[in-house]
C-alpha cells in the first residue's frame, strides 16, 4: 500500500512533490498519517513513546523514509538549479580545485 502526502514548507524555497512511501501496511499508513499530522516534534516523540515496541520500530522506519524522500527531492531540485547558473558553477569548481 502506498502512502502519499504533500510536504510541509521546508523554508528552503524548493518546489516539493508529494512524498510517497510504497509498501506500507494499512496500519503503517495510519501511523504515517498520524505522524504527519502532528505539528510539533516533541508531540511526535510523545506519540511514538506511547506505542508498542513493534509500532515504535515501524514509526522510526516511516520517519526515516519520509526524511529520505524529502532529502532526495531537495538534492534533485538543487542539482537542477546548479545548471541555471553555469558560470557560477565553473567559478566554484575552479575554487575547489585550488584548495
Looking at residue 50, what DSSP letter applies? T
Q: What is the mean pLDDT of the chain?
A: 80
Q: Say what percent of the chain tops pLDDT 90.
A: 34
Q: Which long-range contacts (CB under 8 A, 24 or more apart) does 16-25 make?
A: 16/70, 16/73, 16/74, 16/77, 17/73, 19/66, 19/69, 19/70, 19/73, 20/69, 21/62, 21/65, 21/66, 21/69, 24/62, 25/1
For the entire predicted model, the pTM comes to 0.67
Q: Report CA-CA distances (Å) from 43 to 55, 72, 77.
A: 16, 26, 30
Instruction: Specify the pLDDT at position 10.
Output: 52
99 vs 77 pLDDT, higher one:
77
Evaluate if residue 59 carries a pLDDT over 90. yes
| pLDDT of residue 48 exceeding 90 | yes
Residue 6 — pLDDT band, cuts 50, 70, 90?
Answer: low
- Yes or no: say if 79 and 30 are a contact pair by the CB < 8 Å rule: no
Pick 82 or 52 by higher pLDDT.
Answer: 52
Residue 50: the pLDDT is 97
Amino acid at each position: 500500500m502506498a502512502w502519499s502526502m504533500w510536504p510541509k514548507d521546508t523554508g528552503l524555497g524548493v518546489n516539493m512533490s508529494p512524498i510517497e512511501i510504497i509498501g506500507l501496511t494499512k496500519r503503517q499508513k495510519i501511523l504515517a498519517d498520524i505522524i504527519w499530522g502532528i505539528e510539533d516534534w516533541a508531540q511526535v516523540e510523545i506519540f511514538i513513546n506511547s506505542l508498542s515496541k513493534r509500532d515504535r520500530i515501524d514509526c522510526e522506519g516511516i520517519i526515516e523514509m519520509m526524511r529520505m524522500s524529502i532529502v532526495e527531492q531537495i538534492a534533485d531540485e538543487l542539482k537542477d538549479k546548479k545548471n541555471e547558473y553555469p558560470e557560477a558553477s565553473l567559478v566554484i569548481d575552479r575554487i575547489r580545485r585550488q584548495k
